[in-house]
């Protein structure tokens, strides 16, 4: 089955929650909605589920207009950020409940519940009540209930936020595996770029109620259409530096100069914003023409296997992503190297002009 | 000096004695013969008797008083919960025209002294032919129990995330089925406490109950005045009648005991 | 998550609305109607404007009863609220005694007002009551039927006996809802027992206390059965409160006009005091 | 100022524990030096909260001793231990202003009001709470509330240790790193022992100089973030630290090294000799995905394996490979070419760890 959103607007109390959203989701696809809190992810999912009606626009499932059809008749399922289960029913009955409502035979219910519970590894808790379980097990129960009924559209609204990161890693992996064999459309909302990348599939970027970009996750990551897209799809956020281009030189924030090299030759003189990914800035030069800058360390955030270094000088703040564990005292002074060949270039309106992987032909 | 927790136990024991000694005295009195009551003060019945209770249980004009009271209290609880549950759901889940005003107006009714409604109720129920029926008393008590019930239930329902409702609809539950099978069990503490309060205010109220009834639905409170006669008051009989009014209350507390601690916070702490 | 706008929700509140409208609006309109007319019989009535209101407001018996009512309500609140908090603090929170003490404390709540009156009527008598007999044995001349002060004190004790449990149960639930971390933080901050009460328990009890105070104010302001059963409002009119005065006026003497005017004034006083109390409390929460 | 020492400490919630499984904390000996920044890291249920409560005095250990500066404090209540604690959910005195909240511990100690005012202002300055000093504490945002509860510990001169119990749980993701920086600053500014309990490796490694990783009621490793990454002392540390965690493979010993699923891995003579003397059959080798070498084409000493999945995470890629019947994860840099279908991998011996009965051995032999 396919799902198409046709020019959707959602206005609540005079506030635009969604503006002219057009989206087309293919059968069997895994779609990530990436955006900050309040970007409209939840609003959009609620429309897809049929919990809300759009102010204008149409929702088309399998070619049929379902805009006004109630949620009970849509064959969708949804998993929320909070652990939502029926606390008065056992885990078994929780999972069985959508099947019972669909008047499935008892034998079939038993079989499907066992299969799904097995898949999500909660078989041993079937006779318990949800509130007696740990957070991870509760969320597995909610997922099992969503997966058991063969819905044609499955919505996940930041389902892993409230879990430990190791559990998150495991569940994310399982989820991707679970969907390999399905023909349902999965929609997964998240605020975390890494989650979007790890889940693969396609990513749709939402910003202030509008779709700013949509496509295969890795492609969207590498070719952001504008500053917002680049910023959204980068954790830690992409570094943005204002700069001026003259005939033969680039000046960063009136303080750092470097010659206009081959990749940037086609830029017309004027003001630009330059973007550089945190992972591309290094502690050792990667190229002869790397920009060397002396910076002060603000904080070294260490995530077990990598280090996020927040550094600054009198002109700008940068974040670097280093692999491995590097401890620095705050206020230490270090030299960093910025590869000028890996710059993203945006015009002053924020539109991307070129990326390191796609140079504009001069 | 006693330590802190011993002082607590001592204090609580004193208070419990203050609560129970008068009740004990009533119980004591109810097992005494008329003669023993009048012959002077005794700490326990020297001549233990069930006569007073037997009188009550064998005389329909006595025991029907209990039956009548229980009927209108039960009716009141049923009506209160039936109308208050959907209303509280609406207040906890939706915004609608006039919602805040309506909610506030409901609560102001709880503030009305029953005495104010005495005469108009009497006329109203007489004119619709409900005078001296259980329904009249139950309905009149609803004026006080419904606002409180809506308010208490709204607090509990707001504590249940709206996502539960949505998940149920997504799973295919109809509204009615969801409400009865999923939602009500989730707020059972709230329902227990609401029932408790409805019982409480209806069971203890006498002014309206007495005014709106004559013979058919006469409450036990009104029947009890029969113990006062020309020869004075039959203390033993009065005490036995009193003891019997305490029993339904104890049963109700027993039923809701597990919800009291959580429920009395009224979903608002 | 915010509430959804949906006017169909009116269907859900409609039964409540109709029921309360039937029991409140129609009778209230009758009351308003009576309060501005002089009714002779079913067909003859004269519009008298605010005449009844003037009469009621100037009636000394009513004024006295109103003052008595206020003194009574404030007295019982002043006793029941602190006592209720104290009892809640003393009640055990764990173990089998927790539920036993809950049930025992709740018992008085479920006893009808007239039976409460009866209990204390018996308990306080010098001939057959333990309290009356005991006090007289101690040389205290106690007789609620003859001495207005004794009657007054008995009614207050009776109300305290009957209704303190409500405050205690509300506070008990409120206390149970305080997370342990608060007590731990206070211990680390070296707070005294008093400081724990003043800065952790009391603020967290605020919402239940507001409910408790409102309920107790409204209900004590409507007290009827207890003093009626004990002494019939006497001796003299020392324990005659507003409800009894009104009942006497409306049903006893059938003075419909004045009774109606009185009813409305009565109702407005309760509303006004509750509103004042509520606004003051809400004001206290705001930053200056 | 405190050095915190645990001596044969163990705790069971049972009255008469019958075996190891009845213990929430198994016997441990441990020292936290005065003035250090430490983290207790572990998944839920590992015993870290129990340990925290024992240190703060909310719980009395059933066995062993807790010493502050050499003095046994087992039976001292929290208020006598000169510690402060920041809880998971902000604990503030709702009805008071921020100022009064900060002043509260000082006033409880009957300190002169003038001193209280100076001290509160000093701390408010450091925590950047000045703008809200006279607001009611209940109207603050979550991060401000957490700062206030931290401030209540910092105002006291006698506080020698601050314990943090997952303090950032309720903080907005965007504000988290700011609060982390604040915490670090404060640690550098005050010479106070700080112990930070969390399940999040980022928070633990960012804050702490040394991390105690807890698992099954035990501290399985106490080391710097770098040591935990490069030399995990226990298989759990290998799994728990890093994303994805360490590849761990059950093996049996052979004359030249170890073997699994018919695949032989050669080891140095010294290691082989060591393994030869070990009676246990629970032997695993571990290697972090970051250290697995990957080639596109057959290479000397490399094992051929199937590429099952490639996860493109932008700045790097995670390869899921199948070697024998085992799944191996490898991490590739952004610029590294991605092998199709078949990949060839090798395990540099310096990064190949050997675990016997789950613990790392023979590191000195590499």
Q: Contact C271/B108, CB-based, under 8 Å?
A: yes
Domain boundaries, chain A: 3-232, 239-354
CB D57 within 8 Å of CB D137: no
Chain D closest-CA separation from residue C24 CA (Å): 39
* C174-232 pLDDT tens trace: 898 888 889 989 988 888 899 999 999 999 898 889 888 988 998 888 888 788 888 87
The residue among B4 and A291 whose pLDDT is bigger is: A291
Pairwise CA distance, residues D191 & C96, whole Å:
48
- Greatest Cα pair distance in chain B: 74
Token pair belonging to D3: 């050095």
| D266 and D339, same domain (yes or no) | yes
- Write the CA distances from D122 to C259, D108, D151, integer angstroms: 67, 19, 10
* B44-70 pLDDT tens trace: 887 788 888 988 888 888 888 899 999
Pairwise CA distance, residues B12 & B18, whole Å:
10
CB C92 within 8 Å of CB C85: no
Chain C closest-CA separation from residue A16 CA (Å): 16
pLDDT averaged over every residue in chain D: 89
Pairwise CA distance, residues C189 & D106, whole Å:
8
Triad B250, B255, B261: Cα angle to 5°: 95
| CATH superfamily placement of domain A3-232 | P-loop containing nucleotide triphosphate hydrolases (3.40.50.300)
Q: What is the pLDDT of residue A359?
A: 63
Give which of D145, D196, D142 is closest to D32, Cα–Cα: D196
Give chain B's domain count: 1
| D219 and D350, same domain (yes or no) | no
CATH code for the structural domain at A239-354: 2.40.50.140
B-chain CB neighbours of A89 within 8 Å are 182
Q: What is the pLDDT of residue D364?
A: 78
Q: Provide the domain limits for residue D361.
A: 245-365
B113 falls within a domain: yes
- The full DSSP string for D298-356 is --TTPEEEEEEEEEE-SSEEEEEEEETTEEEEEEEETTSPPPPSEEEEE--GGG-EEEE
Pairwise CA distance, residues D57 & D72, whole Å:
12
B39 falls within a domain: no
Q: Which among C1, C106, C211 has CB closest to B162?
A: C1
Give which of A56, A129, A59, A125 is closest to A90, Cα–Cα: A129
In this prediction, residues D251-256 reach a mean pLDDT of: 90
CB D254 within 8 Å of CB D240: no
Domain boundaries, chain C: 21-58+255-288, 61-251
Which of D238, D268, D288 represents a domain boundary (last residue)?
A: D238
Q: Can you tell me whether residue A313 is helix, strand or coil?
A: coil
* B192-246 pLDDT tens trace: 889 988 998 899 888 888 888 888 888 888 888 776 666 677 888 888 988 999 9
Pairwise CA distance, residues A218 & A221, whole Å:
5
pLDDT band at D238 (very low <50, low <70, confident <90, very high): very high
C99 CB within 8 Å of a chain D CB: no
pLDDT band at D98 (very low <50, low <70, confident <90, very high): very high
| D182 and D97, same domain (yes or no) | yes
Pairwise CA distance, residues B238 & B227, whole Å:
6
Pairwise CA distance, residues B266 & A171, whole Å:
38
- Write the CA distances from C232 to A66, A120, C60, C262, integer angstroms: 71, 72, 20, 21
A-chain CB neighbours of D184 within 8 Å are 299, 330
Residues with Cβ within 8 Å of B257's Cβ and at least 6 positions away in sequence, in order, are C99, C102, C103
* A126-159 pLDDT tens trace: 999 999 888 889 999 999 999 998 888 999 999 9
Token pair belonging to C77: 């609140």
Which chains reach chain D with 3 or more Cβ–Cβ distances below 8 angstroms?
A, C
Pairwise CA distance, residues D176 & D184, whole Å:
12
D349 CB within 8 Å of a chain A CB: no
Q: Provide the domain limits for residue B100.
A: 60-235+244-263
Q: What is the domain-level CATH number for residue B130? A: 1.10.3720.10
Q: Contact B37/C87, CB-based, under 8 Å?
A: no
A-chain CB neighbours of D315 within 8 Å are 277-279, 321
In this prediction, residues B143-160 reach a mean pLDDT of: 89
Token pair belonging to C193: 């027992």
Q: Which among A222, A304, A321 has CB closest to D243?
A: A304
Chain C closest-CA separation from residue A33 CA (Å): 20
Q: Contact D104/C199, CB-based, under 8 Å?
A: yes
pTM: 0.85
Pairwise CA distance, residues C265 & C245, whole Å:
13
Q: Which residue of A has its CA nearest to D318?
A: A198
Q: Do chains B and C touch (3 or more CB pairs under 8 A)?
A: yes
The 10 Å Cβ neighbour count of residue D130 is: 12
Q: E strands along chain A, which residues?
A: 3-12, 15-25, 30-34, 56-61, 64-65, 76-79, 153-157, 185-190, 202-207, 210-216, 239-245, 249-252, 256-259, 270-276, 291-302, 306-312, 317-323, 333-338, 344-346, 352-354
User: What angle, 0 to 180 degrees and rounded to 10, lies between the N-to-C axes of helices C10-20 and B60-93?
Assistant: 140
Which of D238, D273, D306 represents a domain boundary (last residue)?
A: D238
Interface test with C, best of B4, B10, B22 (most C CBs within 10 A): B22
Which of D238, D255, D285 represents a domain boundary (last residue)?
A: D238
pLDDT of B156 higher than 60: yes
pLDDT of A172 higher than 90: no
pLDDT of B269 higher than 60: no
pLDDT of C1 higher than 60: no
* B121-145 pLDDT tens trace: 888 888 888 888 999 999 999 988 9
Q: Which residue of C has its CA nearest to A13?
A: C5
- Greatest Cα pair distance in chain D: 78
CATH of C61-251, one of 3.40.50.2300, 3.40.50.700, 1.10.3720.10, 1.10.600.10: 1.10.3720.10
Q: Which residue of D has its CA nearest to C206?
A: D95
Pairwise CA distance, residues D249 & D284, whole Å:
5
Give which of B21, B209, B137, B221 is closest to C115, Cα–Cα: B221
The residue among C203 and C259 whose pLDDT is bigger is: C203
The predicted complex's ipTM stands at 0.82
Give chain D's domain count: 2
B96 CB within 8 Å of a chain A CB: no
* A173-206 pLDDT tens trace: 888 888 877 888 999 999 888 889 988 889 999 9
Give which of D152, D209, D197, D349 is closest to D267, Cα–Cα: D349
Burial C258-275 (b: 16+ CB within 10 A, else e): bbbbbbbbbbebbeebbe
Q: What is the domain-level CATH number for residue D231? A: 3.40.50.300
Pairwise CA distance, residues C194 & A16, whole Å:
52
Give which of A169, A265, A201, A148 is closest to A25, Cα–Cα: A201
Q: What is the pLDDT of residue C287?
A: 61
Token pair belonging to C164: 């303190």
């Amino acid at each position: 089955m396919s799902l198409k959103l046709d020019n959707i607007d959602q206005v609540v109390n005079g506030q635009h929650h969604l503006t002219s959203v057009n989206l087309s989701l293919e059968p069997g696809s895994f779609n990530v909605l990436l955006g900050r809190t309040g970007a409209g992810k939840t609003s959009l999912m609620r429309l897809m589920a049929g919990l809300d009606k759009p102010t204008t626009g149409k929702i088309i499932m399998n070619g049929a207009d379902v805009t006004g059809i109630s949620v009970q008749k849509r064959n969708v399922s949804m998993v929320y950020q909070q652990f939502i289960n029926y606390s008065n029913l056992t885990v078994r009955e929780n999972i069985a409940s959508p099947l019972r409502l669909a008047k499935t035979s008892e034998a079939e219910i038993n079989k499907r519940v066992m299969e799904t519970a097995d898949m999500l590894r909660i078989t041993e808790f079937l006779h318990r009540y949800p509130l007696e379980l740990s957070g991870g097990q509760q969320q597995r129960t909610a997922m099992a209930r969503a997966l058991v009924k063969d819905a044609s559209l499955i919505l996940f609204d930041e389902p892993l936020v409230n879990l430990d990161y190791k559990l998150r890693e495991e569940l994310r992996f399982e989820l991707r595996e679970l969907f390999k064999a399905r023909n349902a459309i999965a929609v997964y909302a998240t605020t975390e770029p890494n989650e979007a990348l790890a889940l693969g599939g396609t990513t749709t970027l939402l910003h202030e109620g509008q779709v700013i970009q949509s496509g295969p996750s890795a492609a969207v990551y590498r070719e952001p259409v504008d500053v917002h897209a680049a910023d959204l799809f980068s954790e830690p956020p992409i570094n943005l530096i204002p700069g001026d281009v003259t005939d033969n030189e680039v000046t960063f924030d009136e303080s750092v100069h470097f010659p206009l090299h081959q990749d940037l030759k086609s830029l017309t003189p004027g003001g630009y914003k330059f973007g550089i990914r945190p992972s591309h800035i290094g502690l050792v030069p990667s190229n002869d023409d790397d920009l060397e800058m002396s910076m002060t360390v603000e904080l070294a955030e260490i995530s077990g296997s990598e280090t996020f270094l927040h550094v600054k000088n009198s002109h700008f703040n940068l974040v670097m992503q280093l692999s491995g564990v590097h401890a620095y005292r705050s206020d230490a002074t270090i030299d960093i190297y910025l590869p000028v060949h890996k710059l993203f270039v945006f015009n002053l309106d924020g539109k991307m002009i070129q990326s390191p992987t796609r140079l504009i032909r001069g | 000096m006693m330590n802190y927790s011993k002082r607590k136990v001592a204090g609580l024991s004193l208070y419990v004695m203050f609560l129970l000694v008068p009740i004990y005295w009533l119980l004591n009195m109810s097992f005494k013969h008329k003669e023993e009551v009048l012959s002077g003060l005794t700490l326990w019945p020297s001549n233990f008797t069930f006569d007073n209770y037997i009188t009550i249980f064998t005389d329909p004009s006595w025991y029907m008083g209990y039956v009548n009271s229980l009927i209108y209290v039960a009716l009141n609880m049923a009506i209160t919960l039936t109308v208050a549950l959907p209303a509280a759901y609406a207040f906890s889940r939706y915004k609608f025209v006039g919602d805040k005003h309506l909610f506030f107006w409901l609560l102001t009714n709880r503030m009305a002294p029953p005495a104010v409604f005495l005469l108009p109720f009497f006329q109203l129920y007489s004119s619709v032919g409900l005078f001296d029926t259980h329904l009249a008393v139950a309905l009149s008590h609803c004026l006080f129990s419904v606002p409180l019930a809506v308010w208490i239930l709204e607090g509990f329902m707001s504590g249940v995330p709206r996502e539960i409702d949505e998940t149920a609809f997504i799973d295919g539950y109809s509204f009615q089925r969801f409400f009865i099978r999923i939602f009500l069990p989730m707020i059972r503490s709230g329902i227990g406490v609401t029932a408790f309060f409805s019982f409480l205010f209806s069971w203890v109220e006498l002014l309206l109950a007495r005014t709106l009834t004559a013979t058919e639905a006469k409450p036990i409170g009104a029947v009890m005045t029969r113990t006062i006669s020309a020869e004075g008051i039959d203390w033993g009989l009065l005490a036995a009648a009193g003891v019997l009014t305490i029993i339904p209350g104890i049963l109700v507390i027993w039923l809701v005991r597990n919800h009291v601690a959580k429920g009395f916070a009224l979903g608002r702490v | 998550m915010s509430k959804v706008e949906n006017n169909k929700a009116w269907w859900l509140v409609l039964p409540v609305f109709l029921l309360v409208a039937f029991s409140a609006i129609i009778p209230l309109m009758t009351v308003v109607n009576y309060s501005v007319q002089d009714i002779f019989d079913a067909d003859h009535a004269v519009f008298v404007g605010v005449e009844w209101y003037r009469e009621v407001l100037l009636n000394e018996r009513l004024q006295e009863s109103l003052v008595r009512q206020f003194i009574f309500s404030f007295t019982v609140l002043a006793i029941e609220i602190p006592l209720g908090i104290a009892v809640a603090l003393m009640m055990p929170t764990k173990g089998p005694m927790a539920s036993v003490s809950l049930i025992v404390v709740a018992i008085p709540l479920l006893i009808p007002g007239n039976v409460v009156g009866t209990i204390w009527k018996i308990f306080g008598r010098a001939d057959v009551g333990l309290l009356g007999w005991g006090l007289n044995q101690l040389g205290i001349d106690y007789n609620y039927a003859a001495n207005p002060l004794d009657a007054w004190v008995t009614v207050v004790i009776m109300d305290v006996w009957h209704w303190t449990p409500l405050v205690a149960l509300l506070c008990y639930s409120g206390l149970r809802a305080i997370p342990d971390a608060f007590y731990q933080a206070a211990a680390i901050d070296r707070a005294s027992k008093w400081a724990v009460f003043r800065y952790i328990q009391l603020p967290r009890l605020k919402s239940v206390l507001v409910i408790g105070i409102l309920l107790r104010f409204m209900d004590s302001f409507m007290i009827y059965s207890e003093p009626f059963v004990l002494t019939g409002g006497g001796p003299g009119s020392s324990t005659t409160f507003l409800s009894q005065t009104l009942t006497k006026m409306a049903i006893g003497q059938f003075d419909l006009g004045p009774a109606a005017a009185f009813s409305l004034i009565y109702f407005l006083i309760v509303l006004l005091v509750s509103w004042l109390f509520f606004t003051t409390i809400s004001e206290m929460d705001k930053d200056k | 100022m405190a050095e915190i020492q645990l001596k044969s400490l163990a705790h069971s919630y049972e009255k008469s524990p019958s075996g190891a499984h009845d213990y929430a904390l198994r016997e441990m000996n441990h020292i936290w030096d005065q003035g250090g920044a430490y983290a207790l890291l572990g998944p839920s249920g590992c015993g870290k909260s129990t340990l925290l409560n024992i240190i703060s005095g909310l719980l009395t250990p059933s066995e062993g001793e807790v010493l502050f500066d050499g003095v046994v404090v087992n039976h001292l209540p929290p208020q006598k231990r000169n510690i402060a604690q920041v809880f998971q959910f902000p604990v503030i005195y709702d009805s008071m202003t921020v100022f009064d909240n900060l002043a509260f511990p000082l006033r409880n100690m009957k300190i002169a009001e003038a001193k209280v005012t100076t001290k509160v202002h000093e701390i408010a300055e450091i925590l950047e709470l000045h703008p809200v000093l006279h607001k009611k504490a209940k109207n603050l945002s979550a991060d401000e509330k957490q700062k206030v509860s931290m401030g209540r510990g910092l105002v006291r001169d006698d506080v020698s240790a601050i314990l943090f119990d997952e303090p950032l749980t309720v903080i907005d993701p965007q504000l988290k790193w700011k609060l982390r920086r604040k915490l670090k600053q404060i640690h550098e500014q005050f010479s106070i022992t700080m112990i930070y309990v969390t399940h999040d490796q980022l928070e633990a490694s960012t804050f702490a100089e040394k991390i105690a990783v807890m698992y099954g009621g035990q501290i399985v490793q106490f080391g710097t973030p770098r040591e935990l990454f490069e030399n995990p002392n226990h298989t759990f540390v290998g799994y728990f630290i890093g994303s994805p965690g360490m590849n761990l493979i059950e093996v049996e010993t052979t004359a030249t090294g170890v073997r699994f699923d018919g695949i032989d891995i050669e080891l140095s003579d010294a290691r082989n000799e060591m393994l030869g003397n070990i009676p246990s059959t629970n032997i695993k080798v571990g290697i972090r995905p970051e250290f697995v070498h990957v080639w596109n084409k057959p290479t000397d000493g490399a094992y051929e394996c199937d590429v099952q999945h490639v996860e493109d995470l932008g700045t790097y890629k995670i390869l899921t490979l199948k070697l024998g019947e085992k799944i191996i994860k490898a991490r590739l840099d952004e610029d590294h070419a991605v092998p199709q279908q078949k990949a060839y991998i090798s395990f540099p011996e310096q990064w190949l760890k050997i675990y016997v009965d789950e613990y790392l051995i023979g590191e000195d032999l590499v």
